Amino acid sequence: MRLRQVRDQLYSWIRQHYIMLGLFLIGLCGGLFTAGIGLLLGILLEPLVQQFLYEKAVTRYLIMADPHFTAEIRPGITAFCGLAVYCAFSEQKGDPEIIQKDIVQHALDLFYFSPSDGPQVELLCRLALEHQQQLNGDLLAESLLARLKDIAAATKTAQVLKELVIRYAPKELWRLESLLQILAPGMERGNENAPWQILGVSPEASVQEIKKTFRRLALQFHPDSLASLNEAQRKKAEESFIRIRQAYREVLSQRLGDES
């Protein structure tokens, strides 16, 4: 009996307030719908926001080598990509895609990354290229050195950078030399492999490979090729070629001596 009275009172209340109740249910459904849309947008946008923040952190690190932004990124390989772009793209010659692929492959090898990390390293190169004019070579070299295991790793990394510059921007060797004083200051002093490193060839290279490399460098350091440089840059480029020519003579003499 009591239950029936409660039910009748409830029905009576609903009949009296059905408009208010209807509006409440509509609002509740609308709120749930809005919450659902918000949740869906959050799920869809979260990766994009994370990617944006990651790229922002990488860019800040490339420009400032800011240690506060190293938690989200891999600073060693990021600094290497920044330095490689800073040097190898300085002449703005050659196919950018080929240069970038070469940098990516060297980065993967140096830092023992798997090929599946290639897209991430390509992103580092792309961001470095987009902000090329803002890159600070000295800061990147210091940051890279701080994250290499030992002198051997620093020397190997410096040699790779030098090979990239000789291959794609040989007139900018002067730009790299100051960075090598930070990254591997002893690379060319007291090192029997120094002439090979200066020339940018392997100690196992054949006479034909050595001559081919030198001819290519000689063409790139020809006065006509240096005409676009200012006086200071031209002087440094000429000094670099003097060292290359001396290294060529030493390397060729050593190789011919080994074969005789």
- Where in the sequence of the chain do the CATH 1.10.287.110 domains occur? 190-260
pLDDT for residue 1? 58
Sequence-ordered list of residues with C-beta below 8 angstroms from that of 93, at least 6 positions apart, any chain: 168, 169
pLDDT for residue 6? 67
- Compute the mean pLDDT over every residue in the chain, rounded to the nearest whole number: 76
Task: For residue 71, name the pLDDT band (cuts at 50, 70, 90).
Answer: low
- What dihedral angle (degrees, nearest 10) is formed by the CA atoms of 187, 193, 199, 200? -80
Give all strands (DSSP E) within the chain, no chain letters. none
Q: Is pLDDT above 50 for 15?
A: yes
pLDDT tens digits for range 92-125? 556 788 888 889 998 888 888 888 888 988 999 9
pLDDT tens digits for range 32-66? 777 777 777 777 877 888 888 888 888 888 888 76
pLDDT tens digits for range 206-251? 888 888 888 877 776 766 666 666 776 677 677 777 777 888 888 8
Which one, of 180, 174, 148, lies nearest residue 161 by Cα?
A: 180
d(CA 161, CA 111): 14
Comparing 28-37, 67-76, 132-141, 176-185, the range with the smallest average pLDDT is: 67-76
- CATH architecture assigned to 190-260: Orthogonal Bundle (1.10)
d(CA 176, CA 199): 14
Residue with tokens 């800073």: 86
Burial of 247 (C-beta count, 10 Å sphere; 0-12/13-18/19+): buried
Compute the C-alpha angle 99/59/143, nearest 5°. 80
Q: Is pLDDT above 50 for 168?
A: yes
pLDDT for residue 189? 46
d(CA 42, CA 34): 12
